[in-house]
Chains A and B, each alone.
Chain A
Amino acid sequence: MNVEDLGKITRVEVPRHLFNKIQLKIEKIQQESFSNSISLQIKLAFALVLIINALVLSNSKNKIDSTISYADSIHLISNNSLYQ
């Protein structure tokens, strides 16, 4: 037995069903990557809506604070407790 015995190995035909299997796998990978990108887009949209909501809320609070301070500066009662 020596290294030259490797020459006895003959080439074989590729099984015919292999190309179909490869195509199916590729389709599956493409579908998975498509659904992954859609789920990523949905997550990003949710995150964006949350950020916008947080910004709107913090801005509206600032506005109320400035209204109260303005009312205080001109000696107006800035709440509804008129009879205290």
Chain B
Amino acid sequence: MSFEQIYLDHNSMVYNLALSYVQNSEDAQEITQDVFIRVFQSLKSFQNQSTIKTWMYRITINICLDYIKAKKRKKRFAFISSLFVDDSVKLRHEVIDFNHPGIKMEDKEALEILLNKINDLPDKQKTALILHKIEHKMQNEISEIMNLTPKAVESLIQRAKINLQKSLDSAKDDLK
């Protein structure tokens, strides 16, 4: 299968999955580029042990999680450096983080809070929840992508839902 064909078949999945993780079209584009460059570089070593779709999902998830970690590190550095520089420089460091093109204006506020709370979940819970609730994947598909048993996936989703609800409840209490 040619690289161009792989891109045509999977670009939408990669871009939308990246958007679910970073909720920002610029970051999602960056991740999509990184994913396809990684695919191009390791296409020869792909050994058909899993389907190409599962393989693409795994690469995308790994790159998204790495990207988020790197961004958090950058933010921490920007915060520390902002303590030593004047405000005009500080403004240039600030970025608009929430810019999801797949969310309607009227849902934006609620979904921003919800997705921010999902971002605080542990990586595995976050991935299981995104694949289940946003990508609409079945548990057996998620278990194949995450290389876990269906039982483990079910438990991850349950824990993610409980933790998310707790987090939302405490946010509501804080508002009162």
A9 and B7 contact, CB distance less than 8 A: no
Interface residues of A in 22-43 (CB under 8 A from B): 22, 25-26, 29
B133 and A7 contact, CB distance less than 8 A: yes
A11 and B164 contact, CB distance less than 8 A: no
**Interface range for A:** 20 to 34
A9 and B111 contact, CB distance less than 8 A: yes
A15 and B29 contact, CB distance less than 8 A: yes
Asked if A2 is at the interface of the complex by the 8 Å CB criterion, the answer is yes
A18 and B33 contact, CB distance less than 8 A: yes
Q: Whole-angstrom distance between the alpha carbons of A25 and B39 in the complex? A: 13
Q: Is the interface of A mostly helix, strand, loop or mixed?
A: helix
B15 and A12 contact, CB distance less than 8 A: yes
B32 and A5 contact, CB distance less than 8 A: no
B154–chain A nearest beta-carbon distance, Å: 15
A28–chain B nearest beta-carbon distance, Å: 10
B74–chain A nearest beta-carbon distance, Å: 20
Instruction: Kindly specify which of B61-69, B86-94, B95-103, B137-145 makes contact with the partner chain.
Output: B95-103
Q: Whole-angstrom distance between the alpha carbons of A22 and B36 in the complex? A: 7
Number of interface residues of B (CB under 8 A): 33
A26–chain B nearest beta-carbon distance, Å: 5
B110 and A5 contact, CB distance less than 8 A: yes
Q: Whole-angstrom distance between the alpha carbons of A7 and B132 in the complex? A: 10
B7 and A22 contact, CB distance less than 8 A: yes
Asked if B12 is at the interface of the complex by the 8 Å CB criterion, the answer is yes
Across the interface, name the chain B residue whose C-beta is closest to A19: B7
A1 and B40 contact, CB distance less than 8 A: no
Asked if A63 is at the interface of the complex by the 8 Å CB criterion, the answer is no
Cβ contacts under 8 Å, B41 to chain A: 29
Which B residues are closer than 8 A to A by beta carbons? Answer: 4, 7, 11-12, 15-16, 19-20, 25, 29, 32-33, 36-37, 40-41, 100-104, 107, 110-111, 113-114, 129, 133-134, 161, 164-165, 168
The contact sample of 17 A-B pairs, CB cut-off 8 A, is A2-B168, A3-B133, A3-B161, A3-B165, A5-B114, A6-B114, A6-B134, A9-B102, A9-B103, A10-B104, A11-B12, A18-B11, A18-B29, A18-B33, A21-B33, A26-B40, A29-B41
